[in-house]
Amino acid sequence: GAVVSQHPSRVICKSGTSVKIECRSLDFQATTMFWYRQFPKQSLMLMATSNEGSKATYEQGVEKDKFLINHASLTLSTLTVTSAHPEDSSFYICSARDAQGSNQPQHFGDGTRLSIL
Amino acid sequence: GQNIDQPTEMTATEGAIVQINCTYQTSGFNGLFWYQQHAGEAPTFLSYNVLDGLEEKGRFSSFLSRSKGYSYLLLKELQMKDSASYLCAPSTPGNMLTFGGGTRLMVKP
C-alpha cells in the first residue's frame, strides 16, 4: 500500500487563489520531505527540502515567498502555492524518506495536478 | 554540479530483454536509485545500488560501477505494462536525489 499520501490529487482554481497541498508519511517518520515539480514531458525538478522543525531549503530560482512550506510534524509537510497564476500550473509531487536506517529510498506521493485558469 | 545521461527513448518487444544505461557525475555519491514513472503518475521505487555489482529483484536487475559513474537497469520478460519512463537518480549526501530526463520505454506486442 501507499506509504506516502498526498492530497489533493487535482486542483482547478482561478488565478490569484492560494492552494495548499498536504504530504503525509503513513507508517514511518520523516524528518525530511522533498517537494518536486514536473512540467509535461520534463524531468522532476526539486523545488525544496522540507525539514521538520526548521525552515525549508529552497533550490535556486524557487521563490520561498510564493511556495510556502511547513513541516510541523514528523509525518506531515504542506506546500502552499500563494496567489497562483497560470504559469504555476504543473504536477507537484512530494516524497519522504524513513528517518530510521540508512540508504532508505524516497517514497513518492501520488502527486497533485494543479491547473490555474 | 550534477549531470545524468540516459537515452531519451527506447523501444522493445513484449517478452524481450532491455537494458537502460545511465551515466552520472555528482558532487558526492550515496548510492543510485532507479524509479519507474507511468505517464501522469508519480514515480515508484524500483531498485537501489550503493556497492558495485548487480542487484536482482524479480524481472528487474540493476547494476552499478562507482568508478565508472555508470549504472544500468535490466528488464526481462517485458510486459506491455512495463511501458513507462525509467528514472536514474543518484543520491548525494543528505539523501538528495537528482533526476535526469528519464528514458521513455515503449513495449510493443
Average pLDDT over residues A55-66: 93
Q: Give the closest-approach CA distance of A82 to chain B in angstroms.
A: 23
- Chain B residues closer than 8 Å to A108 by CB: 35, 42-45
Residues A71-111: pLDDT tens digits?
Answer: 988 899 999 999 999 999 999 999 998 877 666 788 999 99
**Closest among A60, A56, A71, A116 to A92, alpha carbons compared:** A116
CA dihedral A39, B60, B7, A43 (to 10 degrees): 10
Q: Which among B44, B50, B100 is the nearest to A43, CB-wise?
A: B100
At A53 the pLDDT is 83
Residues B92-104: pLDDT tens digits?
Answer: 877 788 888 899 9
Residues A15-52: pLDDT tens digits?
Answer: 999 999 999 999 888 888 999 999 988 889 999 999 88
| B45: contact with A, CB 8 A cutoff | yes
| B106: contact with A, CB 8 A cutoff | no
- Chain B residues closer than 8 Å to A106 by CB: 33, 45, 95, 97
> CB atoms < 10 A from the CB of B30, how many?
16
pLDDT tier for residue A58 given thresholds of 50, 70 and 90: very high
CA dihedral A37, A115, B46, B68 (to 10 degrees): -30
Residues A57 and A67: beta-carbon distance below 8 Å: no
Q: Which among A45, A97, A108 is the nearest to B43, CB-wise?
A: A108
- pLDDT, one tens digit for every residue, chain B (109 residues): 578 999 999 999 999 999 999 999 988 888 999 999 999 899 999 999 999 999 998 999 999 999 999 999 999 999 999 999 999 999 987 778 888 889 999 999 9
DSSP-derived secondary structure for B34-59: EEEE-TTS--EEEEEE-SSEEEEETT
Q: Give the closest-approach CA distance of B29 to chain A in angstroms.
A: 12
Q: Which among B45, B100, B101 is the nearest to A105, CB-wise?
A: B45
At B1 the pLDDT is 59
At A1 the pLDDT is 53
